[in-house]
Chains A and B, each alone.
Chain A
Amino acid sequence: KAGVTQTPRYLIKTRGQQVTLSCSPISGHRSVSWYQQTPGQGLQFLFEYFSETQRNKGNFPGRFSGRQFSNSRSEMNVSTLELGDSALYLCASSLSGPANEQFFGPGTRLTVL
């Protein structure tokens, strides 16, 4: 069974640009969660999608958005990038929600210059 895949793995952008990250969950998983990992803050929850609906959102500004498609693939978008957005962005999938066993992808390392 293929694991969670995230593309791209690495990304370098400049301030003010926007970026779209992609996540393909494990086949059959309908829940996709996104997290931001930084050295000082650990893993911070961004949002969770289930069957194309956002069920929960973390405390991030509106520049962070996401969506889920009918095949459960998910994208997250960050607009007007700031230096502080540099982080590892992790996607996780599960059958029904984050409190069930989640399987994480390898992450996308975003660097904002």
Chain B
Amino acid sequence: DQQVKQNSPSLSVQEGRISILNCDYTNSMFDYFLWYKKYPAEGPTFLISISSIKDKNEDGRFTVFLNKSAKHLSLHIVPSQPGDSAVYFCAARGGSNYKLTFGKGTLLTVNP
């Protein structure tokens, strides 16, 4: 049972435009969400996170929005840059479990 879903395997945008990556979850116990970015041949790197008590968190060009009623979160990248081309993973923490549940990832390609 996939509790964290990233339904778009890939996304292509033009440099300078907005990239929107989406993530849906099914477990109501999830209380903390994170986004990771992964380049080929490297491990994922932490990008931004949001607690379930907030609906928005911003860090430079990156903003994460959380809609708890819809069990949906999204990552906005504005403006998109070619260096943002990578696989983006959404992850969620549930209750007191010391584990993260990851989605399958979305490959973002930013074209110059």
Contacts and interface: CB of A to CB of B under 8 A. Distances in A.
Interface of A: 4, 31, 33, 35, 40-45, 48, 50, 55-56, 58, 90, 92, 97-99, 101-107
B46 A45 contact: no
Contacts of A102: 46, 100
Nearest to A98: B100
Given A35-B102, A98-B93, A105 B43 contact: yes
26 contacts: A4-B43, A31-B98, A41-B104, A42-B104, A42-B105, A43-B89, A43-B102, A43-B105, A45-B100, A45-B101, A48-B98, A50-B98, A55-B98, A56-B97, A56-B98, A56-B99, A58-B99, A98-B98, A98-B99, A99-B34, A99-B98, A102-B46, A102-B100, A104-B43, A106-B41, A106-B43
Nearest to B91: A43
B32 interface: yes
Contact of B98 (A35, A40, A97, A106): A97
Contact of B32 (A45, A55, A99): A99
Contact of B42 (A35, A97, A106): A106
B89 A90 contact: no
Contacts of B100: 33, 45, 98-99, 102
A107 B45 CA distance: 12
Contacts of A106: 41-43
Nearest to A107: B43
Given A43-B89, A106-B41, 18 more contacts: A4-B43, A31-B98, A35-B102, A42-B6, A42-B89, A42-B104, A43-B91, A43-B105, A44-B102, A56-B99, A97-B98, A98-B98, A98-B99, A98-B100, A99-B32, A99-B34, A99-B93, A102-B46
Contacts of A40: 104
